[in-house]
Amino acid sequence: MTYEKIFHDIYDDLKAVEDIGQVADYIPELANVNPDQFGVHLTTVDGQQFAFGDADERFSIQSIAKVPAFVMAYSWIKSEIWQRTDLEPAGTAFNSLVQLEHDRGIPRNPFINAGAIVVCDILVSVLASPKENMLSFIRRLSGNNSINYNPLVAHSEKKTGFRNYALVNLMKSFGNIKNDIDIVMDLYFNLCSIEMSCKELTQTFLFLANNGVVPYSGEQILSPSRTKRTNALMQTCGFYDEAGQFAFKVGLPGKSGVGGGIVAVLPEKYAIAVWSPRLNKKGNSYKGMLFLEEFTTKTKLSIF
Ligand code: DON
């Protein structure tokens, strides 16, 4: 089976579908992207690579970065993390405030904004230089030292991140943020500003398809059991109030970002990333979701 042929076929089919999505513009810097770009990349656990379109073009990975941040905190404080965030699907928008008041400042899961902000608070507590340490961790996962923050995007979001400041203040009022809010939010906004290509995303997430081991370095990042649990969280919480749809239609653990990227893994087999900047109403890539649905249908491979 050649994955590249399947990529071409699906892309051709999707050309006929009008892209009714919209580029994220609530972070002003993200509105500058050319919305017609489209890339796909797949890396198998044994190192084969398959690319299509703008697979080497870097973009803002946004919430996709919540996964490596969670993995770093999880590997530091282990199951203590569940005292600070729950692990249930939220069924609400990624930046919703309503549930957080009801749940007394404990986010439903680490992949909604509130959960990732708590993860950043944990990292600020345990790391000597949180921004540098987190970047080097992500570089180790990807095997790529050129991965970086985009300060323009981080600054743009800091200036307009009113809902995220509301979330962190609410959690602070319940005692679930231990550090200075500005330091925590600086880490959060930088985390979201990381840029990667589809190819780099597949390489960064490949350890989750490989029982927690980075294939290029042999480094064990998470135990097989915690890897399984991280994949379960991506499956149930990776797409916010569309996690059910993604499980139903695609059937892979994955994570989306408002930059239009989606990464997903098939354990023991591969990591795949798609990038198409226009988003549906839930903040997930409109054509990216359609592409992955067709991909797992045509290959007859998913976790279900
Ligand atoms: O905090 C935010 O709103 C963004 N930096 C990240 C949101 C995001 O990517 C949601 N994903 N689909």
Provide the CATH number for the domain around residue 231.
3.40.710.10
Distance CA 160, CA 220 (A): 38
From 258, 279, 280, 289, mutation site for ligand 1 pocket: most ligand atoms within 8 A of C-beta = 258
CA 198–ligand 1 middle distance (angstroms): 18
Tell whether 16 is covered by a domain.
yes
Q: Does any ligand 1 atom lie closer than 6 A to the CB of residue 176?
A: no
| Residue-level pLDDT at 2 | 87
Distance CA 180, CA 196 (A): 29
Distance CA 41, CA 64 (A): 16
Whether 147 contacts 197, CB under 8 Å:
no
CA 193–ligand 1 middle distance (angstroms): 10
Distance CA 273, CA 253 (A): 12
| Residue-level pLDDT at 229 | 98
pTM of the model: 0.98
Tell whether 304 is covered by a domain.
no
Q: At 167, which amino acid appears?
A: L
| Residue-level pLDDT at 282 | 95
From 29, 94, 241, mutation site for ligand 1 pocket: most ligand atoms within 8 A of C-beta = 94
Residue of the CA atom closest to atom 11 of ligand 1: 257
Residue of the CA atom closest to atom 12 of ligand 1: 257
CA 283–ligand 1 middle distance (angstroms): 8
Q: Domain span at residue 234?
A: 3-299
CA 111–ligand 1 middle distance (angstroms): 10
Distance CA 165, CA 156 (A): 14
The count of domains in the chain is 1
Three-state DSSP class for residue 222? coil
Q: Are strands 49-53 and 39-44 parallel, antiparallel or unpaired?
A: antiparallel
Q: Does any ligand 1 atom lie closer than 6 A to the CB of residue 164?
A: yes
Q: What is the distance in angstroms between the CA of the first residue and the CA of the last residue of the chain?
A: 20
| Residue-level pLDDT at 1 | 65
Distance CA 148, CA 8 (A): 30
Give the other-Cβ count within 10 Å of 98's Cβ.
Answer: 9
User: Can you name the residues that pair with 220 across neighbouring β-strands?
Assistant: 213
pLDDT tens across the length of the chain (304 residues): 689 999 999 999 999 999 999 999 999 999 999 999 999 999 999 999 999 999 999 999 999 999 999 999 999 999 999 999 999 999 999 999 999 999 999 999 999 999 999 999 999 999 999 999 999 999 999 999 999 999 999 999 999 999 999 999 999 999 999 999 999 999 999 999 999 999 999 999 999 999 999 999 999 999 999 999 999 999 999 999 999 999 999 999 999 999 999 999 999 999 999 999 999 999 999 999 999 999 999 999 999 9
The angle formed by the CA atoms of residues 272, 13 and 20, to the nearest 5 degrees, is 85
Which DSSP string do the residues of 56-125 spell out, in sequence order? T--EE-GGGGHHHHHHHHHHHHGGGGGGTS--S---S-TT--HHHHHTTT--S-TTSHHHHHHHHHHHHH
